[in-house]
Amino acid sequence: MHTNTNLLHKSLIRVVHCSIHDGNDPGYPLHSHPTWEITVHCQGKIRTVQGNAIIETFPGMVFLHAPGQPHGDIASEPYQLIYIYFECEPLKTFEPVLYDDPDGSLKETCKAIIREWRGQASHFEAMTDLLVGRLDLLIERFRPSAHRIGTACRGCSRHY
């Protein structure tokens, strides 16, 4: 079991499943999970359906899907998403859409979680715990409310 304690929920986080999804036209149908899911858009252009919203999605966008929340992908070209299903106590507040930094910190952390979660290297459980803790901190860091109005992230214009 991979667990961690951190800022967002002060409780255990357990990775249930994770992988990379290579999608094509027409996308992935509307669905939901009994767990939380984080998806990181890596390449291609899609529209993400989340509840009643349809959001134009581009690489670097990150979605948090709550348990039971319908979501899916509408694609007209090949695309790639990283996804992680995880369990934790209910989050009282969360931002459903986040934006990765120019270094791709969320993307690289999620890719590392996938590598470790496969359990092929020594100490994979401890490494997964550390990476999930980093993911938790990055989610907190990249919440729009964490940015001050008028402050940009290292050259990015979306937080002005």
Task: Tell me the CATH number at 68.
Answer: 2.60.120.280
Q: Is residue 66 situated within a structural domain?
A: yes
Q: Is residue 1 situated within a structural domain?
A: no
Cα distance between residue 37 and residue 7, in whole Å: 18
Q: Is residue 81 situated within a structural domain?
A: yes
Domain containing residue 137 = 17-146
Q: Return the pLDDT at 71.
A: 97
Q: Is residue 158 situated within a structural domain?
A: no
The answer to whether 72 and 49 are in contact (CB under 8 A) is yes
pTM, entire model: 0.81
Q: Return the pLDDT at 119.
A: 87
The answer to whether the Cα torsion of 18, 111, 157, 43 is positive or negative is negative
Q: What is the mean pLDDT of each run of 10 residues along the chain (160 residues)?
A: 46 88 96 96 96 94 95 96 92 86 96 93 93 92 58 36
Q: Is residue 160 situated within a structural domain?
A: no
Count of domains observed in the chain:
1
